[in-house]
Amino acid sequence: MTASERTTVRWWRWRRNVLKRRVDVVEAWVVLTGWVLALVIGVIAGLVAADTVEQAVEQQRAESRRVTAVVVKDAPGQPSTGSASDQRVWGKVRWTAPDGSTQRDEARVPPRASAGSTVQVWVNRGGDITAPPVSTGEAWLHIAMGGALAGAFAGSAVLGATRLTRLLLDRRRMAQWDAEWERVDTRRGWKTG
């Protein structure tokens, strides 16, 4: 039979059919429930993850602030090739922490920055140097990607469980067919296999 002659019967598990078994109806409900749950759970997981990422971004912004630091020692010249793209080098700096104490550490400074020059650094509540908070565009990207990935993983997990359930139902269906063929064969006294 060629592909053009074959007839596809859609929704056959939902129609009346004398050959339809109970396991076929159960499988139809499992598939329908699995897809609905995958959609609902995926959306919920995505929204929860996006909200969590958004709260983390807001917390990072609230906990960091920009301070002026003084270069303590002359900074080296141009960075070697393969270093950070902003063309800054590591230099010793000093700044005043939120509690009033003087802190010293290394920070990224312009090449050949002389001792006594000032640079802007980001510090956390404890007064330690930290990375600058993410920009608005980066925050939206993190929120969108976190939500999308969490939703996709949660939905995929539900669909995986649905697929596993269908495989178990297929095994049951095959066992039922084997038992039925066995009854048909032994009734007449002969075997087909």
Complete DSSP assignment for 8-64: --TTGGGS--TT--HHHHHHHHHHHHHHHHHHHHHHHHHHHHHHHHHHHHHHHHHH-
CA nearest to 21, candidates 186, 173, 187: 173
Percentage helix, strand, coil for the chain under 3-state DSSP, each rounded to 5: 50, 15, 35
- CA distance linking residue 71 with residue 59, whole number of Å: 29
**Averaged pLDDT, 3-25:** 70
Share of the chain above pLDDT 70, in %: 83
pLDDT at residue number 68: 87
Give the model's confidence band at 124: pLDDT under 50 very low, under 70 low, under 90 confident, else very high.
confident
Quick one: DSSP state of residue 190? -
Residue 86 has what DSSP assignment?
A: T
Per-residue pLDDT, 188: 63
Burial of 154 (C-beta count, 10 Å sphere; 0-12/13-18/19+): buried
Give the percent of the chain with pLDDT over 90.
Answer: 35
Instruction: Using pLDDT thresholds of 50, 70 and 90, give the confidence band for residue 14.
Output: low
- For 37-84, write each residue's pLDDT tens digit: 999 999 999 999 999 999 999 998 888 888 888 888 887 777 666 554
**Residue 144 above 90 pLDDT?**
yes
pTM of the model: 0.69
* Higher pLDDT pick, 58 / 98: 58
Among 27-36, 110-119, 141-150, the minimum mean pLDDT is found in 110-119
